[in-house]
Amino acid sequence: MPAAAVPFAPPADNRHIEALAALGTPRRYRRGALLIQEGETGDTLYIVLQGRLRAFVADNQGRELTLGQYGPLEYVGEMSLDGGPRSANVEAAETSTCAVVTRATLLDYIASHPEFALELMARLIRRARLATDSARSVALIDVYGRLVRLLNDMAGEPDERGERRLGERLTHQQIAQHLACSREMVSRLLKDLETGGYVAVRERWIWLCKPLPARW
């Protein structure tokens, strides 16, 4: 979901992340492996080298809300800088390799490259804004409204037929995790949209065939 502008521009390249990753220990994680558990105290940063990680929160009933997904040269775990407990869970969304960087190594790198502190701060601000947007969406927009917003945000540019394909394959369960609702609700909504000719599923890709209705 789009976030408001932040006071620091995104880095022009990934030289700091690449340099920091070189100081870490490469580790491979199978799909579904839990790297970070909410509430635990941790002192490591994970830089994605290959694959994709998913950050999420969950309640006692097993319901989940996806906070973000992170690919190569993105990182998670920077909240460990303050020595406090982890604020979310992070799992491998697919088989992934990460460079695991200790808190001490990260602090030493920042001391040697103070400009990286601004980059780190900018990323924290962007993630805080995204979290605020997500919380506002869950609180103020109904499930169908959140689905429309998610599909429109993830869809690419129209093709020659005016149809837009989502940027990645998503299961109904994954969509439900983005929307903080049940998989059954997602299946019901998408089925109705498919029946109305608004969406189509081809080879497990979701296509938006025409503008989605404002209300369900």
Q: Which two tokens stand for residue 2?
A: 């789009």
Phi, psi of 6 (to 5 degrees): -115, 160
128 is written with which tokens?
Answer: 């805080």
- For residue range 176-201, what is the model confidence (pLDDT) as tens digits? 988 878 899 999 999 999 999 999 99
Position with higher pLDDT, 175 vs 135? 175
Yes or no: say if 180 and 147 are a contact pair by the CB < 8 Å rule. Answer: no
List where CATH 1.10.10.10 sits in the chain. 141-208
- The answer to whether 85 touches 40, Cβ cutoff 8 Å, is yes
Q: Which CATH number fits domain 141-208: 1.10.10.10, 2.40.30.10, 3.40.1000.10, 2.60.120.460?
A: 1.10.10.10
Question: Residue 11 carries which DSSP code?
Answer: P
- Where in the chain do CATH 2.60.120.10 domains reside? 15-139
Question: What is the predicted pLDDT for the residue at 1?
Answer: 37
CATH of region 15-139? 2.60.120.10
Q: Can you tell me the distance from the alpha carbon of 95 to that of 47, in angstroms, rounded to the nearest whole number?
A: 14
The distance from CA 63 to its chain's CA centroid, rounded to whole angstroms, is: 17
Give residue-wise pLDDT tens across range 2-57.
333 333 334 446 899 999 999 999 999 999 999 999 888 888 999 999 999 999 88
